[in-house]
Amino acid sequence: MEKDPKYKDLPSQIYYDKLNEDIIEEEDDEHEENEESQENVYWEAIEGSYEQTPWVRDVFFKLERNLTEINESRGEDSLSKKHCYDLNYWLYEQVYENLNNNENDENFFKIIDGLQNAWTNINNDKFPNADNICHPDKTLVDMKYLKDVKHLFDFIEDFSTIKTAAIKDTNNACQKYIDYLKLKVPLYYEWNDVCTMEEENICTKYIDDYPKYNPKNVLENLSVVSLALASIFNDCYQNIINLFTEVEKIEPRTVLKHRDITGPSESNVVKIGGRALAEAISDTSQSGNMLIGINALATSLFSVVKRFNSYVFSLVAPVGLSLLGLLLFLYVLYKFTPIGKSISRTHKRVKNKFVRNKRDDFDDDEDDDDDDSDNSSDLKSSSSMESLLSNS
C-alpha cells in the first residue's frame, strides 16, 4: 500500500505500518522458545509447499503475530472488524507484491489458500469457540477493487482525526488533507448505497454505522457562512466546495466482485450486479431519504455556498477586469499618444490661466484696499479741520 509521509499521523497508516513490522525474535528465553516451537507447528504443516518461494515464511510469521494481536485486542478495538479487513488485504498485498504485482500468476491463489488454511488452524487452536475473531476472507479478489475498498475503510478509520483537525484549524487541515479527501470522499458516496444495504456484502461485513462517517457531518462544527465567504479568497476552501458539489453527481456502485471458491482458483471473479443489486440499492435509497437531518442540511448548504461563490465571481470578476482594462487604456492613451500630449498641454494652459486670473483678482483686491485707505485718511483730515474751526 502506497504511503504518503504527510499522513503518517493518521490512524489507518499507523495501524497498517504495524502489520509490516519485522518479527523480533527473543533469545535465551525458555518461554519464547516453547512458543516459537508451537508456532512452527503451523508453518511446518505447509512449509513443503513453498520451497520455491522462501519469502512465504516471513509472511506467515507476520500473519500469525498480527492475527494474534487482532484477536486478543478485539474487545477494546471499536474498529476490530475493519482491522480484520486490513489483515486480509495485507495478506493479499504481500503475495501480490512478491509475485511482481501479478494477480494472474498461477501461484497467487495457491499461496493465499495455504496461508489462509494455516490462519484457520491458528484460530481453532488459540481461540476455540471465541466470538468475533478475525477469519480469513476467501471471497476477496481483484487487487484494484480491494484497494478501493481499503481506501474507503481507511477514510472511516481516519474520519475522527480529520474532523478534529478541521475544527481546530480549518485552513491548516484543508491544506494538509485536500489530496487525501479528493481521493477518498468520492469513494464514500460511490459506495454509500452498498454500505447501507441490509444484505451482507464486502462493506457491511466490516463496517458498522456507515452514515456516521458522512464527510458532510463535519459541518456540524464549522461555520458554513464563514467558509463560504473565506472560499472567495481561499483556493483550498473553494476546492473543498467543488469536491462536495461534484460528489453529488457520482453514480452509485452497482457491481461487486468476489471470488468463486467453489470452482478452480483460476476461475476466481464473480461480479454481482445488474437488476438484483440495483433493486437492493433502490430499497436502501428510499429508506435513507427519510433520514434528512444534518446530511440533507449540509447538502443544501454546500449548494448555496457554491451558487453564492459562482454569483460573486461572475458579477465581480468581469466588472473588476473591465475597470482595470479601462484604467490601463487611459494611462497608455495619456502617456504615449498625441492625444495624451494635447490633453497635457490643454491642462497646463487651463492651469496657467487659472493661476493668472487668481493673481489678477489678488491685485484688484490690493487696489481696492489702497483706495479704501485713502478715503479713510481724507475723512480723518476733514474731521480734524472741523474740530479746529469749532474750537476757534
* pLDDT(90) > 80: yes
Range of weakest confidence among 6-15, 69-78, 246-255, 317-326: 317-326
Angle at 17 between CA 15 and CA 21, to 5 degrees: 120
Report the candidate in 158, 155, 241, 235 with the shortest Cα–Cα distance to residue 190. Answer: 155
HSE, CB side, 13 Å, CA atoms: give it for residue 155.
Answer: 26
Looking at residue 379, its pLDDT comes to 45
Q: What is the pLDDT confidence band of residue 321, given thresholds at 50, 70 and 90?
A: low
Q: What is the pTM of this model?
A: 0.69
**What is the reported pLDDT for 85?**
98
DSSP secondary structure letter of residue 28: S
What is the C-alpha to C-alpha distance for residues 367 and 374, in angstroms, rounded to an integer?
11
CB-CB contact of 165 with 172 (8 Å): yes
**How confident is the model over 184-227, as pLDDT tens digits?**
999 999 999 999 999 999 999 999 999 999 998 887 767 666 66
Q: Residue 287: pLDDT above 70?
A: no
pLDDT band at 345 (very low <50, low <70, confident <90, very high): confident
Instruction: Show me where the domains of the chain are located.
Output: 5-223
Alpha carbon distances (Å) from 164 to 133, 185, 244, 375: 30, 17, 19, 91
User: Quick one: what percent of the chain has pLDDT higher than 70?
Assistant: 60
| pLDDT given for residue 37 in this prediction | 47
- State mean pLDDT over 131-147: 96
Render pLDDT for 30-83 as a digit per residue (tens, 0 to 9).
Answer: 555 455 545 579 999 999 999 999 999 999 999 999 999 999 999 899 999 999
| Burial profile 100-110: b = 16 or more Cβ within 10 angstroms, e = fewer | eeebeeebbbe
**Of the candidates 154, 163, 71, 53, the residue with the CA atom closest to the CA atom of residue 108:** 53
- Per cent of the chain over pLDDT 90 is 49
Q: How many Cα atoms are found within 13 Å in the side-chain-facing hemisphere of 268?
A: 17
Is there a contact between 193 and 253 (Cβ–Cβ < 8 Å)?
yes
Residue 237 confidence class, pLDDT cut points 50, 70, 90: confident
pLDDT reported for residue 355: 58
| C-alpha grid cell, residue 284 | 436502501
Q: Which one is predicted more confidently, 91 or 325?
A: 91
Give CA–CA dist 48/298, Å, rounded: 58
Which helix (H) or strand (E) segment holds residue 245: the answer is helix 235-247
Average pLDDT of the residues in 164-183: 93
Query: Using 50, 70 and 90 to split pLDDT, how confident is the model at 290?
Result: very low
3-state secondary structure 132-158: CCCCCCCCCCCHHHHHHHHHHHHHHHH
- What is the pLDDT confidence band of residue 4, given thresholds at 50, 70 and 90? confident
pLDDT at res. 129: 87
Which of 306-338 are b and which e, b meaning 16 or more Cβ less than 10 Å from the residue's Cβ?
Answer: bebbeeeeeeeeeeeeeeeeeeeeeeeeeeeee
pLDDT of residue 304 exceeding 50, the answer is yes
247 close to 181: Cβ distance less than 8 angstroms = no
Q: Is 190 exposed, middle or buried (0-12, 13-18, 19+ CB in 10 A)?
A: middle
How far from each other are the two terminal CA atoms of the chain, in whole angstroms? 130
